[in-house]
Homo-oligomer: A and B are copies of this chain.
Amino acid sequence: MSERREVDVVVLGAGPAGEVIAGRLAERDLEVALVENRLVAGECSYWACMPSKALLRPAQALGEARRVPGAAEAVTGELDVPAALARRDDVIHHLDDSEQLPWLEERGIILVRGHGHLAGERTVHVGDVELVARRAVVVAVGSAPMIPPVPGLAEARPWTNREATVTEVVPGSLLVLGGGPVGVELAQAFATLGAEVTLLEREGRLLEREEPFAGEQVGEGLQAAAVRVLVDAEVTSVRRGEDGRVTLALAGGETLEADEILVASGRRQTTDTLGLESIGLEAGSPPQPLEVGDDLRVAGRDWLYAIGDVNGKALLTHEGKYQARIAADVISGHEPQARIRGGLPPRVTFTEPQVAAVGHTLASAQEAGLNVRAVDVPTQATAGASFHGKDTDGTSRIVVDEDRGMIVGATFVGSDVAEWLHAATIAVVAEVSLEDLWHAVPAFPSRSEVWLKLLEGYGL
C-alpha cells in the first residue's frame, strides 16, 4: 500500500445512499472517506431513475396539454426528439460528476476514486490506498443489471438500463425483455420517441408485484403509445446478426427482429467484488445481498453496515436514502428512532398512466394473513378531474385492515398521480385511523377528492 489513511467512516459507493450517509455523517463532524469507481451520484442519477424520467416526461406534458381544450389547439407540432435527448443530457450532467464535488468538499468528505473492497476488519483497499475506519464501514455499492440465461442473449450485447438511458440514438425498433417498472418505463419512453417497441414479459402480466389492475392499465397505456405487449412470452434464443440487427425466438415459434434489444429483467448483486472473504463472510453463488437488521448492521460485524440495493431490502433510491439516514443515526449515536420501518415502501412507475403505490396490495395483505377489504374507485371520479387528466382512465384502491381500522396499502393509477402518493404513505406508515382520515378533508376541486370517494366506498 502506498498510502494508509484513517477516518471515522469509510463509505463504499457514492450513489444516492452513499452520498446521503456521507453527508449526514460529515455534518455531524465525523471524518468520512467516500469510495466510488464510476461517477459520484450513482446509477440512479446517470443511468436509471433520472434519465428515464427525462425521456418519459415530454410525451406526458404534451399529452396533458392535448387533453385541455384551449391548450390543445396550441399544440400543433410533434415531440422534438433531439430536444428531449438534449434535456436528458442536461439531467445526467453529460455524464460528468464535477458538479457534485463541491458538495463533498464543503463537508470535508474525502473522495477516493477506484474500486474499493474489504481487506479485513474496518479496512478497505482502493488500488494501493488503505483506508482504515475507526467507527464503521458502510457498503452502498448498489446493484447491477441482470442478464437472464437466455441462449445467445449475453453474446448479443444487449442494452441494459445503462445503455438505454444514455443513448444518443433512438433505434428504429426495440425489443424490451421484462415488464417490471424499468421495462414498462423504457418501452413507453422509446415508443414516444419514435421507436417501434415490442415488450416481452415472461409472466402472465405486467408489474406483477402491483395490483392486477395496475399492470392491465399500464398495458393499455403502452398499447396507446403503439407498444406491442406480449405476456407469457418465453424467449428461447437471441442472436445479433452481422448486420447488427437482433433476432429473438419465442417458445411458440414466432421470431421477432429489431434494431436493438433491452434487458430489463431485474438486478443482480455485486457482493462478490467486495472482499467479504477477508472478514470471514461469503458472497454466495450467485452473489447474495449483504444481509442486515433493521439497524442496517451486518450481524456479528457491528462495524459493518449495508444500505441501499446491496442489502436486498428494497431496490429503490428513496429507500436507500432512507436507510442512509437511519444508518447515519445509528453510527453517530442517535439511537431512539434509528430503525427502518415498514416492509412495503412507496413506489412509483412513471409511465402514462402512472402507478403510485405504497404498502400492501390486496393479495400481499391476504398472504400476510391480514383481515382486509379493498375499495376501488375510478381515479378520475372527482370534479377536479374535469381539469387535469381529463378523460383518462385508471383505478384507485385502498386496502383496509378491518381489524385495526386503518389502511395498509394504497394504489393509484392515472395521469400525474405520483404526488398523490405521499398522503397514502403518511397514512400507512403513521397508521392513521380511518376516522382521522375521514376528518382530513380534501380540497375542492382537487383530484385528491378521490380519498373522499374511497372512504365513502368503504362505508364512512
Contact = CB atoms under 8 A, between A and B. Distances in A.
A74 B75 contact: yes
Interface in A309-358: 316-319, 321-322, 337, 341-342, 345-348, 356
A343 to B, nearest CB: 12
Copies of this protein in the assembly total 2
Most chain B CB inside 10 Å of its own CB: which residue of A80, A421, A442 = A442
A419 B415 CA distance: 12
Given A57-B68, A436-B430, A441 B420 contact: no
B65 A446 contact: no
A79 B74 contact: yes
A69 interface: yes
B71 A58 contact: yes
Interface stretch (A212-220, A241-249, A257-265, A382-390): A382-390
B68 A441 contact: no
Given A71-B62, A440-B422, A445 B83 contact: no
Interface in A53-76: 53-54, 57-59, 61-62, 64-65, 67-76
Nearest to A357: B443
A251 interface: no
Contacts of A422: 420, 423, 440, 442-443, 446, 448, 451
Given A54-B386, A386-B91, A342 B439 contact: yes
Contacts of A426: 423, 426-427, 432, 436-437, 440
A58 to B, nearest CB: 3
B74 A78 contact: yes
Contacts of A62: 65, 68, 71, 74
A348 to B, nearest CB: 5
A428 to B, nearest CB: 8
Contacts of A365: none
Given A65-B62, A446-B348, A54 B387 contact: yes
Contacts of A441: 318-319, 321-322, 345-346, 425, 429
A433 B430 contact: yes
Q: Which 10 A-B pairs have the closest CB atoms?
A: A70-B84, A58-B70, A73-B80, A430-B436, A74-B77, A69-B87, A318-B444, A422-B448, A65-B65, A317-B444
